[in-house]
Structure 1
Amino acid sequence: MSVRHVVLIAGPQCSGKSTLATNLAAERPGIVLDLDVIARGLGSTRGWLHDEPVMARAEAIYQGELGRIVAAHDVVAYVVRSAPAARARADLAARLRADVVYVLDPGMGECLRRATVDGRPAGTHAGIRQWYRRYAATGVDRRPSEPRLVTSREW
C-alpha cells in the first residue's frame, strides 16, 4: 500500500517554516525540501540570503526534487516555500497534491524582531516587509494550531 502525505509550509522569513518542517518530519519521517538547506549543502557559508550563483544552483535542485515529489505515489514530504502570492501558493499546493497548506504568520513585527535577534543578513527586513505587502490568503491555507509551535531558536 502506498502512502502519500505532502505538506506545503509557507510564510515570511523568520516565521518558523524550516523549524515546523523539521518538527513534522520528526513526528512522521519524510523529505524536508528547503531551499536554504540545499544552498548550505552546496557550500554557502551564509545561513540565509545566499549568493546568486549558489541560489541558482539550489533552485534548480529544488525544482528537480519538487518534480520528484509531484510524480511520487509513495512519499511523505514537507515542502518549505515562502509563497506570499495566493495564486502561486494555491497552484503549488495543487501541483503537489498537498494534504495541507500551512501559512505561518507570527506577525510582521515578530518576524522583524526575530531577524534582528538572530543577526540575519542585510535584506532580511526588506524581504519580510515585501512578503507582508504581497501576502493574500487562499481557501487552502491553514494555520498550525495545537500543539503550540515552538522554534529551534531562542528569539
Structure 2
Amino acid sequence: MKSLISLAILTAACSLSGVAFAADNADAKAAYADIEATFGSVPTFLKVFPPEGIAGAWSEMKSLQLNPHTALSNKEKELIGLAVAAQIPCHYCVYFHTESAKANGATEAEVREAIAMSAQTRHWSTVLNGSQIDMEQFKKEFAAMMKFANDKAEKAKAPAQPPKKKP
C-alpha cells in the first residue's frame, strides 16, 4: 500500500512539474524572442540560464539595466557595473560593462576613474573592517567631516566682506 501511495505522489508531482515546466517554457520562449528582438540574437550567457528563470532574469535586466528612464543614466549604471565587476572580479563582466559604458558615452577617463573608485572603496573597506573601527564612532566622525565640508563650501560661496574701517 505504501508503494502505491508513493507511486501516486510521485506521479502527481511529475505531472504538476510537467505543467509548470510547460508554462515556464512558454515564458522562456517569449523571453528569448524579446531578447533576440533587443540584441539581434540570444547571447550564450542568456541561453545557458535555466529556462525556468530566464523570463524573470530578462525582465529585471531589461527594466533596470537597459531602461533609459530610471534614476541613473545608462552610462552611470554601466560605470557602476564596471566598478563592481572589477572587484568581483569577473573578466566577462568587466568587458561587458566597459564596452556598454563606452557605448553610452563614457570616456576612457570615466572608465579609469570608475575602476580606481572601486579599488579605493575596496582599500578603505579592508582598512575599516580589518581595524574593526566602531561603526557609531565612524558615523559621528563622518557627520562632523560632512558638516565641516558643507560649512566651508557655504563660506566660499558667500560674498567677501570688505574690511571694517577703524574709527
User: What TM-score range do you get, normalising by the shorter chain?
Assistant: under 0.3
- TM-score normalised to the size of structure 1? 0.26
Bigger helix fraction: 2
Structure with greater Cα Rg:
2
Bigger strand fraction: 1
Work out which structure has the larger RCO, using CA pairs closer than 8 Å and 6 or more positions apart in sequence. Answer: 1
